[in-house]
Amino acid sequence: MKPIIVKNIRYTAPSNEMGFVVAKDVKTDSLIWKKQVYKISYIKNLEEDVQDVFIVSLTLKKDYLIVQTENNKTYRLKLNQ
């Protein structure tokens, strides 16, 4: 997935941190914030990998970061800039 860069901040959704969006400084790669967009409630006795829900895209719309998941749910995060 392609990261979004706004005002020297890179926004990504790491696949190893399910449901999180991370903001890092472009120049220093230092963490600015990490926010959990959604949680997954895993069902016991069912394989976790079939229950995982990945973020498939990040887009910018005005002052919001739009987060789209593989199960077609959309979330938005207000960018405070």
CATH number at residue 59: 2.40.10.480
Q: Kindly state the tokens that stand for 21.
A: 């969006």
pLDDT score, position 44: 94
* Mean predicted confidence (pLDDT) in 51-59: 96
Would 31 be classed as within a structural domain? yes
Assigned domain for 43 exists:
no
- Provide the token pair at 68: 């789209």
Tokens of 80: 């405070």
- Domain with 71, as residue range(s), is 4-38+48-78
> Does residue 81 carry a pLDDT above 70?
no
Residue 17 lies in a domain: yes
* Mean pLDDT across 62-77: 96
CA distance to 21, 35, 69, per residue, from 64 (Å): 13, 14, 16
Number of domains in the chain: 1
Q: Judge whether 54 lies within some domain.
A: yes
